[in-house]
Amino acid sequence: MTAVAMDIDGDVADADAAYPMHFHREQMPAWLHATATALGFRAPDLARPYRWCELGSGAGLTALVAAACNPSGRLTAVDADAAQIARARGIAERAGLANLEFVLADLRDYATQHGDAFDFIVSHGLWAWVSDAVRDAILETVERRLAPGGLLELGYMSHPGASQLQGAQRLLREAARHLEGDVAARSATALSLLREFADGGAGFFAEHPGAARQLDAMEREPAGYIAHEFLGAHWQPQHVADVIRAFAGVGCGFIGSATPIENIDALSIPAALQARLRRLPPGPLAETARDLARNQSLRRDLFQRGAQRLDDAAHLDALDALVFAALPGAPSALGGDLRFDTRIGPVTGARDLFAPALEALAQGPRSFAGLRTRAPYDAAPGLLNQALQALTWAGCVHICVPAGRDAPADALARQLASRTDVPALALLPAAGTAASRRAPR
């Protein structure tokens, strides 16, 4: 029997089970700048040269898009998978992305390296999948390399939403260890075993109906995704309270979620719990309660090194400087209320709150300052702030980035178009990001 290929940390590392390309819009510099500003914190200035780093870049799609659509930034992507780094470097070179460096390194080694400070550090799909030693290395890197006022975005599986997957994950891992074939084949066979238990009336699935829905979603993913997500030795959902305290220990304060709708309790928390949540102290307790209220399984936490909260006047000035544009497919008019499909189910967005912004943006980009002259925002700019956060999350609008030299987005788009493993994306250099070619939610 052939052993599953593992790296020294016990994580799946096999070329036959390559991790698929995923794009994470929440890691884009402009998205992070706008979200921190909306939350009332002084964000790094995108009009000046800045540095951005992704820890655990995987196939590199997020870093490639960030570089192509943000030519004024200097970007670094770090990963320990030599094959993925080589593929991503090749794409970057052919697309002429001179502002992007791919670094092949174990994060435990990278943490000891010296270099310039980063204004943004992002990481997705790493914190809950690696050993304590690698998590310590991430903390060390953040402590050494995140600039004062810099932003950290951390995406990870969280309790309680992912708690029920622990038993299923162990079955997948144990099955893969006793099967023959390459990692991809073992992943597929192990997943079919889990399906047999679900269809055969296993008590686990009877007790946890949500697990069946998660299994349905897993079966839609390629085998490489399953291998990397669920076969590693250190797979472990995290409690947000532990994560907040860990990063507080390296000088980073939790400021909110990089998923904007989760910063608006009215749109992400059951109505009966909202008042109770407001009485809880912010931080570990309140976020733990929110996770319970949403049955949160994936968090995208936003931290700031030496959190720099703005006073009311400075906050409004910072918001006024933001310029927003409608994204392709956004509605130009509303015949009724909006519907947001959230973790707690469908949530209604009142037409009177969202229609004025959408109608104005359908005519072209508008600054926050210009939008807030319209009713109902003229009497309450906070309503406009919340409306734009929700519309950004829904894929309807996005902030614009400061004008700079020509972005090589077309060159990257041509490189990506020839690949079958890349999701359908429209690169949007004016917004510093990319958007799915499907209609927004």
Residue-wise pLDDT tens digits, 319-343: 999 999 999 989 988 888 889 988 8
CA–CA distance from 299 to each of 134, 288, 333 (Å)? 19, 11, 32
Confidence class of residue 18 from pLDDT cuts 50, 70 and 90? low
Return d(Cα 36, Cα 42) in angstroms, integer.
Answer: 7
- Tokens representing residue 413 in the block: 């788009």
Residue 438's pLDDT is what?
Answer: 56
The whole-model pTM stands at: 0.93
CA distances from 148 to 78, 142, 174 (A): 21, 11, 44
Question: Which residues, at least 6 apart from 287, have a Cβ–Cβ distance to it below 8 Å?
Answer: 240, 241, 244, 254
Q: Which helix (H) or strand (E) holds 40?
A: none
Quick: pLDDT tens for 282-296. 999 999 999 999 999
- What confidence tens digit (pLDDT) does each residue in 351-396 have? 999 999 999 999 999 999 999 999 999 999 999 999 999 999 999 9
* Residue 306, number of CB atoms within 10 A of its CB: 12
Going by C-beta distance under 8 Å and a sequence separation of 6 or more, which residues neighbour residue 386? 264, 266
Helices (H) and strands (E) counted in the chain, each on its own, are 19, 14
CB 282 within 8 A of CB 362: no
Radius of gyration from C-alpha coordinates of the chain: 22
* Structural tokens at position 35: 């979200």
d(CA 19, CA 60): 10
